[in-house]
Amino acid sequence: MVSRVHQVSLSSGGVPKLAVTGAMVHREGMVGDHHDDLIHHGGAERALCLFSLEVIERFQAEGHPIAPGCAGENLTISGLDWADVIPGTRLRLGADLVIEVTSYTAPCSKNARWFSDGDFRRMSQSIHPGESRVYARVLEPGMAAPGDPVLSNHEPAVEELDRL
């Protein structure tokens, strides 16, 4: 299965972030995306927030009213084994954009509304390993758009990272 960008999401601050047709990504984040809380979000080490479509779909199957962009992620990715997306993982998205996962995101109470029982800790890496959002730094700026292929340095085709 080919990994792809499922959704690109932006907001003027807060959640949910809304789907857009694409956005330029630079070292400080996505053009047009803003944060209400600059202490916990944004900056070069947290330039992007990523989440897995498959994890969101598991949450939905459990009865939670979450959807792509709701949890504040800029990029919803499909087709990656999300448990392998750990700090240090490098991803190439499309032709130019290269990012590196820096950390897991801490669950935030503003996301309680996306969980039927209000327990936003459902996205906690320490409680539910492999089901957390992650932050990433931008190594090579570029465009991000739905449908862009995503290659990970954990995949067998790692040499393709430099040929896309």
Each residue of 38-50: pLDDT tens digit? 566 667 899 999 9
Spans of all domains in the chain: 4-162
Instruction: Decide: 2 and 149 in contact? Cβ < 8 Å.
Output: yes
| Domain 4-162 CATH (choose: 3.40.50.1220, 3.40.640.10, 2.40.33.20, 2.90.10.10) | 2.40.33.20
Residue 42 CA to residue 33 CA, distance in Å, equals 10
70-109 pLDDT, tens digit per residue, is: 999 999 999 999 999 999 999 999 999 999 999 999 998 9
Tens-digit pLDDT profile for residues 109-138: 999 999 999 999 999 999 999 999 999 999
Q: Give pTM, 2 decimals.
A: 0.90
- In the chain, pLDDT over 90 holds for what percent of residues? 80
Does position 159 have pLDDT exceeding 70, yes or no?
no
